[in-house]
Amino acid sequence: MAKLLEIKDLNVRYHTDDSIVYAVNNLSLSLEHGEKLGLVGETGAGKTTLALSILQLLPNKVGKIESGSIKYDGEELIGQGEGYMLGLRGRRISMIFQDPMTSLNPTQTVGDQVLEVLRLHFPQLTKEEKDAKVDEILQLVGIPASRKNEYPHQFSGGMKQRVVIAMALIAEPELLLADEPTTALDVTIQAQIMELMRRLKDKFNTAVILITHDLGVVAEFCDKVSVVYAGRVVEHGTVEQIFEAKEKHPYTMGLINCIPDLSKDEERLKPIPGRMVDPRIIPTGCCFADRCPHCMEICKKQPPEIHDLDGHLIMCHLFDAENGGKA
Amino acid sequence: MSLFKKKKPLSEYSTGELILFRFGKNKLAIIGVAMLSFVTIMIIIAPIIRPYNMVIKQDIIHKLNGPSMAHIFGTDELGRDLLARILYGGRISLFCSLAIIGIAFVAGALIGGTAGFFGGKVDTILMRFVDMLMSVPSALLAMAIITALGNGVWKLVMALAIGQIPRFARMVRSSVLTLRNMEYVEAAKCFGSSSMQIILKHILPNGIGPIVVSATLTLGSVILSISSMGYLGLGVASPTPEWGTIISENKVNIQYFPYLGIIPGICIMLTVMSINFIGDGLRDAFDPKSKK
């Protein structure tokens, strides 16, 4: 079976008035049917840009896909007409947004908003069938059907996110892009929402790309992880490989060190020093060189290659052959 | 006072019914509807109350008679029945001003909405056109248009409507500019809504409240500008009655016969007020968070 999603050498630029922002650079990624991929990285790493590129919803005239290919179920998405994309969005690829407070229309009842997605993609169903489906999906996400005529402001944050999930899944898409779905929620609700997503994912066999900066959520939820830095995938592997293998990209190492470990008595966290490289310039060497504790001469001169260690991909000079592969 | 008795639980109503329901719970809005319907019905059934010839029939002997059984609202300086003049005058005042607001609202919303939603060159071109309209004083603009098109009620309506377009276009544009960047609009795009659906389902219902209120507030000034056009001999000319004209033709006598100003004035005031109430009610009804 063809891969569900295959992104090759994707380059996305934002053209502002006085500069060009290199948001996504030569990024490649692939996803099998039903797979759960975590996309981890700090703010501004290009994670959301990537999701919007898949849906072809980059801000008009500003964001542009310069080159590369996005194949969905064997079909190229770049260059497809708006009509084709309208049929795809919401039906075959859905997206969940970070803030449930603002991602629902305040003037429509939640039931109507869920129904709307169904109306868009299944106009042939009768009204009764649609209503039954809305009730069913609301039940699934844990909202009693009796509340479907209430407005978003009558719901708590967690409940709103459930509504958003219901909207995203009602058309039973093959791929769900979850853009930090739990960032705006408190920890207990976060756990509930992740549990809900896991359950629904299994039920519909939806592939999920979970965009987050929470490594804990990734470790629990995902099969595979891609670590994104400055618009590039610097490390990719299974959850075990990323968290347990000795070979790690120094950036991933830094990310993991940022998580407070309750079992150790430490005074301070260890943040990664410095800031992310200015996205308006293309560094000549490795994009992480300035902040890397293992930075070598070559790192500043030449961009690193991707090293494949049994499917565990690392983009770093530390694993070059002349450095003994270190592995 | 509620128009709708709760027969079934609130959760079984559709969005449209809920808006009606909230509107029905708003007492002022219902009073507004009642007042406006009363005025409208009276204007429509005017021929039953007074035949049209009473509007122009002069009766110098009975001039400037105060309200009495024969002339409920009294007579003016030419002995014409004020009630008849107000009833038939209302046809022009009320329907023309509603038409003007309606046309200006729709045209302004289309121009402003397109400019705001699509932005870029479309925005620039449309808004410069609006600036052009705005740079000419609206009375002068209306006069120029009527002079070009010729006299007539519909030409007057067009001329005044064009003068009102800029305010609506600017208002709609700015509200669309804020709304189109809301996350739920972004989310709607992700769920496969087309631009048209987004405008109708998400931008319109969220932006319409304040614009409706402003439209109803403009109505009073539109009624008056119809009359000032009439005063200049453009559009509706004497002896065809019209509320503003009635006041202006009686202005010399108002000092000693105040009913000549008070009665048509009250008609204008009640109409404008009832429409403002309805506008307020609509705004609250569109907003599900309103407590009223």
Query: How many Å from the N-terminal Cα to the C-terminal Cα in chain A?
Result: 33
Chain A touched by B196 (CB under 8 Å):
no
Determine the 3-state secondary structure of A4 from DSSP. coil
Burial class (CB in 10 A: 0-12, 13-18, 19+), B120: exposed
Round to whole Å and give the CA distance between B141 and A83: 43
Encode pLDDT of B213-236 as tens digits: 888 888 878 887 887 787 777 777
Residue A226: pLDDT band (50, 70, 90) is very high
Per the listing, tokens 């859905």 go with A94
Residue A244: pLDDT band (50, 70, 90) is confident
Secondary structure of A149-202 as H, E, C letters: CCCHHHCCHHHHHHHHHHHHHCCCCCEEEEECCCCCCCHHHHHHHHHHHHHHHH
Of residues A55, A106, A149, nearest to B190 (C-beta) = A55
- A86 contacts B190? CB cut-off 8 A: no
State the ipTM, two decimals: 0.79
Token pair belonging to B173? 């544009």
| B196 Cα to chain A: minimum distance (Å) | 12
Round to whole Å and give the CA distance between A18 and A20: 7
Please name the helix (run of DSSP H) or strand (run of DSSP E) that holds residue A234, with its range, or none: strand A232-238
- A149 contacts B12? CB cut-off 8 A: yes
Portions of chain A given CATH number 3.40.50.300? 5-92+171-323
Q: Are A114 and A148 in contact (CB under 8 A)?
A: yes
Of residues A86, A108, A120, nearest to B15 (C-beta) = A108
Which residue type does A219 have? A
Domain borders along chain B are 15-286
Encode pLDDT of A288-302 as tens digits: 888 888 888 888 888
Chain B touched by A105 (CB under 8 Å):
yes
Probe site for chain B from A58, A61, A107, A138 (most B CB atoms < 10 A):
A107
Q: What percent of chain A has pLDDT over 90?
A: 24
- B194 contacts A149? CB cut-off 8 A: no
| B27 Cα to chain A: minimum distance (Å) | 22
Q: What is the structure's pLDDT at A5?
A: 92
Q: Which residues of chain B have pLDDT under 50?
A: 1-3, 292
Q: DSSP secondary-structure letter at A143? A: -
Residues of B in contact with A91 (CB under 8 A): 192
Q: What is the structure's pLDDT at B2?
A: 47
Domain B15-286, architecture per CATH: Orthogonal Bundle (1.10)
Chain B touched by A11 (CB under 8 Å):
no
| C-alpha dist (Å) from residue B42 to A30, B243, B266 | 72, 15, 15
| Among chain B residues, CA nearest to A169 | B191
- A151 contacts B197? CB cut-off 8 A: no
Round to whole Å and give the CA distance between A195 and A123: 31
Q: Are A12 and A30 in contact (CB under 8 A)?
A: no
Q: DSSP secondary-structure letter at A319? A: G
Residues of A in contact with B201 (CB under 8 A): 105, 108, 116
Domain A5-92+171-323, architecture per CATH: 3-Layer(aba) Sandwich (3.40)
Chain A touched by B193 (CB under 8 Å):
yes
Chain B touched by A57 (CB under 8 Å):
yes
β-bridge mates for residue A228, sequence order = A233
Q: How many CB pairs under 8 A join A and B?
A: 92
Between B215 and A320, the more confident residue is B215
- B12 contacts A150? CB cut-off 8 A: no
Token pair belonging to B217? 């507030």
